[in-house]
Amino acid sequence: MPLGERGPWDKSESRYCGVETDFSDDVPHLISFNLALGGFDFIVAPLMDPSYRPSLVQKNESVSNVMPVAGSDLVLSPSQWSSHVVGKISSWIDLDSYDDTLRLDSETTLKQEIAWASHLSLQACLIPIPKGASCANYARCVNQILQGLSNMQLWLKIPLVHADDDPEEMKSDCWNDYWELWNSFRLLCEHHSQLYVVLDIPSSLPSENSIGRWFGESVKAVVLNTDCFLTNARGYPCLSRRHQKLISGFFNHSIQIVVSGKALHKLPGGSSGSADLHSNKNVDSVQKHPLRVYLDYVGYLYQKMDPLPEQERFELGYRDFLQSPLQPLMDNLEAQTYETFEKDTVKYLQYQRAVAKALIDRVPDDNASAVTMVLMVVGAGRGPLVRASLQAAEETGRRLKVYAVEKNPNAVVTLHSLVKLEGWENFVTIVSSDMRYWDAPEKADILVSELLGSFGDNELSPECLDGAQRFLKEDGISIPTSYTSFIQPITASKLYNDVKSHKDLVHFETAYVVKLHSVAKLAPSQPVFTFTHPAPSMEIDNRRYKKLNFEIPNDTGSVMVHGFAGYFNAILYQDVHLGIEPSTATPNMFSWFPIFFPLRKPICVQPGSALEVHFWRCVGSTKVWYEWCVASPCPSPVHNTNGRSYWVGL
């Protein structure tokens, strides 16, 4: 069973824990011992006798040519094989060995074992870490196998260590940073979507930045060896605070735990924990599974995690799901879209605060009952900004005349119903028109809009408000008064593979709205484009260009940049702001997810190298689009030239 069901609202977040075992001819007994007795959810078990070598079978005629596998496929049902067993490929294989016999034996055995695992309908196989400085032949063979797999995943085991953390230990090692090994391997396998990484957790952890980059990689599981555990005052296993934080992070990213090694701690009831974790012999002499105390501790860590906030629960289904941005001028929003946005009470409270401050600034208390302010909501939708503005007027004791301007005729129907329902007929006028072409009967004191997109200007707020500012008084107030877009480089293997699966240029040159989750943010975000309203000059030019340089922290190690996360921060009025830029994000607001600009070919950045990025906002007669590229450490193509793949229609 899973580590725990943390309430009926959180069942989808249950996590699973497996155990690594040695080879056994009796797989049903192995499962019974580790799952029924031990309480684990699955086993990671060798499928073939480790003494088997194809070359020995060929030389010795007396040896049967039948592979010594772990029981026939009939010992378990297909569903049991699939749900309870992860295949563990023989650890002795070395496909890049200089010994031709070992290399050929390794290649034959790898293909035989994975073919057998596929026959058993296993969901995954754990393949061992490459042995030497080169992994080209190993990766070639794995890539060949991946081309023929339909459902099964291959998990490559990689140690979570970095040379800077323990230089003495790694002086003789051919890899200074095992991320480099993983990167070489997955590049040789063309970023195949069924190739995953399994991290082997050491007792001494690398830096936070070095660990952080893995959260953007295709990590499926982590191996937690018993020698990582400390001993508490009662003699039971526990983990350091850093390990606890790491395991909680893995839980949050749906990464499974695999316990491995010998039992080094006492068992409940005082039994010795010296039994071999992998062995299933003499089971009757052990009252409880020797690893159960480690499973219980992992379950304890899961249970004590804070429950997901309401906003996170709402967003669960959107995590790492690519969505096309809205086309607000070309398309009319549907009722369901309006309803989703209208549930974001935080956003409208911020607008209400901004309008209240603007009203107080425009009308002194002495004139509050004598002066009526003209406020125009441009892009009124189904009326939430109208309501927020009227509530601000009531709160401040100011008088307000409101024009609700909306181009969507379907939303206008709802606005008319709302005005009658709320009794707003005397101070709300509904205008069914595009704000850019409407001739206002009078000038406005305050102009209110919510035309912002995930990247600030990507839903054409500048163009719309430029067209509307002609009916704002010279000293009039625009809410928002300004907004700035931001970008930051990210590792996002899942998003990259999702874009890559379309096998065309268009999807790599499209910006997507996405709830970022399985990503690694590689450097702090930097501002890109800023727009201010009302525009200070009548000669308005909304084209923009920005060059940015990002520094990846040295202790991170090498990283792979799959693209850029985009955000915005908007000043509504004075000190009232809202936005999604991580360092200043408005808490508990869900109207906007970040935007993702992919790279056609990911860029590897070495420690100490600068990442030079160029972004353009281009404006034509009928559309607005973005172009982007990397100039250093190695140039990428300019993406989306002339808006050939992605644009926003005017």
Question: Helices (H) and strands (E) in the chain — how many of each?
Answer: 17, 26
Residue 162, both tokens: 């970095």
pLDDT tens-digit readout, 209-251: 999 999 999 999 999 999 999 998 888 899 999 999 999 999 9
For the chain, the domain total comes to 3
Claim to verify: residue 270 and residue 222 sit in the same structural domain: yes
Q: Which residue has the higher pLDDT, 36 or 163?
A: 36
Tokens standing for 398? 């100011």
One domain for residues 254 and 152 = yes
Q: For this structure, is 450 an active site residue?
A: yes
- Of the candidate ranges 51-65, 73-87, 114-128, 187-201, the one whose mean pLDDT is the lowest: 51-65
Domain boundary at 254, 289, 308, which?
Answer: 308
CB distance 479 to 573 below 8 Å: yes
- Confidence band for 183, pLDDT divided at 50, 70 and 90: very high
Last residue of a domain, one of 410, 427, 450: 450
Q: Is 526 among the domain residues?
A: yes
Cα separation, 606 vs 449, whole angstroms: 44
| Binding site, annotated residues for S-adenosyl-L-methionine | 338, 347-348, 406, 434-435
178-188 helix and 136-148 helix, angle to the nearest 10 degrees: 50
Residue 564 lies in a domain: yes
pLDDT band at 330 (very low <50, low <70, confident <90, very high): confident
- pLDDT score at 326: 77
pLDDT value, residue 257:
96
In 305-390 the beta strands, taken as DSSP E runs, fall at 372-378
Residue 441, domain CATH: 3.40.50.150
Do 194 and 301 fall into the same domain? yes
Inside any domain, residue 1: no
**pLDDT for 319 beyond 60:** yes
pLDDT of 265 strictly over 70:
yes
Residues 250 and 189 in one domain: yes
Distance (Å, whole) CA 185 – CA 169:
23
Per the structure, the complete domain to which residue 540 belongs is given by: 482-649
In a domain, 249, yes or no: yes
229 and 297 Cβ atoms separated by less than 8 Å: yes
Whether 261 and 384 share a structural domain: no
In a domain, 477, yes or no: no
DSSP, residue by residue, 504-527: SHHHHT--EE-B--S-EE-S--EE
Least confident window among 8-12, 59-63, 340-344, 381-385? 8-12
CA distance 53 to 46: 15
* Predicted confidence (pLDDT) per residue in 521-568, tens digit: 999 999 999 999 998 776 789 999 999 999 999 999 999 999 999 999
Shared domain check, 392 and 299 = no
Are 346 and 300 in a shared domain?
Answer: no
Q: Summarize the confidence of residues 142-163 as an average pLDDT.
A: 91
The last residue of one of the domains, among 401, 428, 450, is 450
Q: Are residues 368 and 286 in the same domain?
A: no
Query: Do 288 and 341 belong together in one domain?
Result: no
Do the domain assignments include residue 97?
Answer: yes
User: Are 205 and 105 members of one domain?
Assistant: yes
Q: What is the CATH number of the domain that holds 510?
A: 2.70.160.11
**Single-letter amino acid code for the residue at 610:** A
Asked if the model's pLDDT at residue 406 lies above 90, the reply is yes
Asked if residue 475 is part of any domain, the answer here is no
Q: What is the pLDDT of residue 276?
A: 42
Mean residue pLDDT across the chain: 90
Domain co-membership, 100 together with 245:
yes
From the candidates 113, 217, 459, 463, which is the catalytic residue? 459
Specify whether 494 is located in the same domain as 568.
yes
Q: Does some domain include residue 320?
A: no
As a whole number of Å, the CA-based R_g of the chain is: 30
Total Cβ atoms within 10 A of residue 539: 5
Q: Work out the angle between the directed axes of helices 409-422 and 384-396 (0-180°, nearest 10).
A: 30
Q: What is the CATH number of the domain that holds 228?
A: 3.20.20.150
Catalytic residue among 13, 20, 107, 450: 450
Judged against a pLDDT cut of 70, whether residue 325 lies above it is answered with: yes
